[in-house]
Amino acid sequence: MQSCDVLIVGGGPAGSSAAWRLKRSGADVLVLDKESFPRLKLCAGWVTPEVVHDLEMDIASYPHRFLTFDKLHIHLKGLHLRVPCVQHSIRRFEFDAWLLERSGAPVVQHNVKHIRHENGEYIIDDTFRCKYLIGAGGTRCPVYRTFFRELHPRADELQTATLEHEIEYDWQDPDCHLWFFENGLPGYAWYVPKKNGWLNIGLGGMATRLKKHGGKDLKHHWGQFTGKLGRKLARGAQYHPEGYSYYLRGKVDVARIDNAFITGDAAGLATRDMCEGIGPAVRSGLHAAQAILENTPYELEEVTGASLGGGLASRMLDWAFTRGAA
C-alpha cells in the first residue's frame, strides 16, 4: 500500500492549489485523479484578478492562452451595458494541467471509489493510505459522498445546470459578452473569446427552475442562443455542446471532519451571483493546505460567495437566479 501524509482526491484548481501550497512547505503529498492531464473540463474559463493574485501568477510567463478583457458587455432585457473592469480568459484544458504540474506534487491516475477511516488513517481503495485527506473531486467527489453528504446535504435549489462548447473559431469581437435571463433562462449565456482563435459558448441556469411553470429546457435555450450568435458574433460556428452541473454556495456548516476536508465544487462553493467556481476552488484549496500545515481551523469565511462583492448587484442576481425574475 502506498502511504503519504496528505492525499488529495482531484487535480482541478482546488486540488492543485492545495498541493502547490503543501509542496512548497515540504509536505508529503500525493494527488489522485481519475483522468490523465491535460484533460477536458467543461468551463467558460473566465478567471478573475483575485485568482491571478491567489495563485501568484506572473501573466507574462504563463505559457498558454491568456486573454485580458478591459470591459464586460452585459445584455439584460434589451439593454446593452459596457462595464469597465479587468477580467481574463484561459482554456481549462491548459490551465489545469499547468497548475497541477506547477504544484510539483506526484500525481497518480486513479478513480477513487471506496474510502474508509481506520485507526486514524484514511484507506483509499485498499491501495493508498494517508493521515490527511482533501476532497477536491468536484461535484461527484468521493470524499464528499463518503463522509460529508449526510451532514452537509446539497440544496436542490442551488444546483446549476450548464451546456457549453469550446471551439476553434476566428472570432472578430475580442470582448466577453453575457446575456442575463434571455428568453426566460433562469441564469445567463456567455460568449468568451480565448487567445489565438478559440471561443467558448455556453449557458447555465438553475436546474429546478428550468422546466418549471412551462419553462424551456437547456437545449431549447441553446438553440435560441446559438441561432442569435450565428447572425452576428459567431457566424458559421458549429457546436456539439456537453452538459455538467454544480452547486452554488449554500450554508457550508461542515467542511472538515477529523482530518478530512472538502474544497471547491466538492463543498459547493461557486458564487451565487455569477456561478464563479475557479476562485472559490483555488482559495479553499489553499485554506485547507494552510489548516493542515499550521494546525489551524479550516475557515471558509474568506472564500468569496459573491463575485461582484456582495453589493446590490450581487444580491439582485442571487435573488433572480434562485427565486426568479427570469
The residues that touch ligand FAD, with contacts defined as CB under 6 A, are 9-15, 32-35, 41-46, 111-112, 136-138, 140-142, 162, 164, 202, 244, 246, 264-266, 270, 276-279, 281
Distance (Å, rounded) from C-alpha 254 to C-alpha 152? 6
Q: In this complex, which beta carbon is closest to ligand FAD, that of residue 87 or of residue 259? A: 87
Helix (H, G, I), strand (E, B) or coil at 149: coil
Name the closest residue to ligand FAD (Cβ).
277
Q: How far is the CB of 91 from ligand FAD (least distance, A)?
A: 11
Q: How far is the CB of 198 from ligand FAD (least distance, A)?
A: 14
DSSP 250-266: -----SEETTEEE-HHH
Distance (Å, rounded) from C-alpha 11 to C-alpha 34? 9
Q: In this complex, which beta carbon is closest to ligand FAD, that of residue 26 or of residue 309? A: 309
Q: By C-alpha distance, which of 133, 117, 148 is closest to 267?
A: 148
**C-alpha cell belonging to residue 22:** 503543501
| 46-47: strand order across its sheet | 46-47, 79-90, 66-76, 176-180, 187-194, 198-206, 159-168, 242-247
Angle at the Cα of 305 from the Cα atoms of 156 and 112, rounded to 5 degrees: 60
